[in-house]
Structure 1
Amino acid sequence: MGVTRIVPDLPVADVARAGETYRRLFDLEVGMDLGWVANLGPADAPAVQLQVMATDASAHSRPTLSIGMATAAEVDEVHDRAVAAGLEIVHPLTDEPWGVHRFFFRDHDGNVVKVVAHR
């Protein structure tokens, strides 16, 4: 299975303000900014990432962790495992207009985890 990244999703009230704060404090670059979520990291260490998120554009739940997979098929496989484990699916398998395939589940401690792959 190809896990490509594991990224914390920091809940914030203002994505632009939070992104600017973390960018300046830690000399990070903004890799992606959709207005409601931004991804930051150092230029010389692309595996190190932080996401700041005010809300989610299409899901009712905001994840606390994003786990990136190499392929959409692997996202589907993890989805099947989560269902088989009896975990609550809080956002169904979805192909999002911004180019990702994803779903969210709630773990046994109440954390919402996003599993995602770029399409």
Structure 2
Amino acid sequence: MRVDRVVPNLTVTDLRRAVAEHSEVLGLRVLMDHGWIVTLGDDDGHQLSVMTRDASAPVNPDVSVFVDDVHTALSRVEAAGLDVVHPLTNEPWDVTRFFYRTSDGRVINVGTHTD
């Protein structure tokens, strides 16, 4: 399994304001906007997501890790005895993903693009 991308996720109360602030201060532009999550980035592949409430999961993730084999990632999480807090799901926005909680309580979104 290969990790393709790691994107921090910040939970915010005012999505539009957060987008404007990070765009102005960091010079990032909107790469994706689903209305509840916006991913900002630059030409070098640096990315930051801001979100209000996840559209289908019971909790917001702290970070998103995109991999080339989400099934292997899930098997590794299960073998490690970690808590899966959002099951493997084919989301309507062409991502297959699951969330797990680390031993220190962080929530990790592991996914792959399925388009």
TM range (shorter): over 0.9
Residue matched to 1:22: 22
1:89 equivalent in structure 2: 84
Q: For structure 1, list consecutive stretches of 5 or more residues without a partner in the other structure.
A: none
Does 1:114 find its partner at 2:109? Answer: yes
Percent sequence identity over aligned pairs:
46
Structure 2 stretches of 5 or more lacking a match? none
TM-score by length of 2: 0.96
- 5 Å-filtered alignment, 1:1-119, equals 1-42=1-42, 44-46=43-45, 48-70=46-68, 74-119=69-114
Q: Distance in 1 between matches of 2:2 and 2:73?
A: 11
More moved, 96-105 vs 7-16? 7-16
* CA shift for structure 1 position 98: 0.6
Aligned-residue offset at 1:26: 1.3
Q: Over the residues paired in the alignment, what is the CA RMSD in angstroms? A: 0.8
Q: Secondary structure at the match of 1:77?
A: helix
Report if the CA contact (8 A) 1:102-1:117 is conserved.
yes
Corresponding residue pairs, total: 114
Relative to the length of structure 1, the TM-score reads: 0.92
